[in-house]
Amino acid sequence: MRDLEIIETELMEISAIADDSLKLERIIAWCAAHPDEVPFALHQLMTRAGEPTAKDS
């Protein structure tokens, strides 16, 4: 598996895409290119979903 910071950076870049269809295409391409990193990415997304946002404060 690659460096965790690189993975996180790539995921953040994908999440910043405004167009949902383009974002979905990039997610699919990323998962196909890095299948061994998908469990880590899902874990990251799930833990971030539980974090409070600025709106929650």
Report the predicted TM-score, pTM, of the whole model to 2 decimal places. 0.74
pLDDT at 41: 87
Q: What is the DSSP string of 23-38?
A: HHHHHHHHHHH-GGGH
42: Cβ–Cβ under 8 A, 6 or more apart, which residues? none
Asked if residue 37 lies in contact with residue 1, where contact means CB atoms within 8 angstroms, the answer is: yes
Residue 54 banded pLDDT, cuts 50, 70, 90? low
Tens-place pLDDT, residues 29-47: 999 999 999 998 888 888 8
Most confident by average pLDDT, 2-16, 23-37, 41-55: 23-37
DSSP state of 17: -
Between residues 54 and 47, the one the model is more confident about: 47
CA dist 29 and 35 (Å) reads 10
CA dist 10 and 15 (Å) reads 9
Average pLDDT, the chain: 86
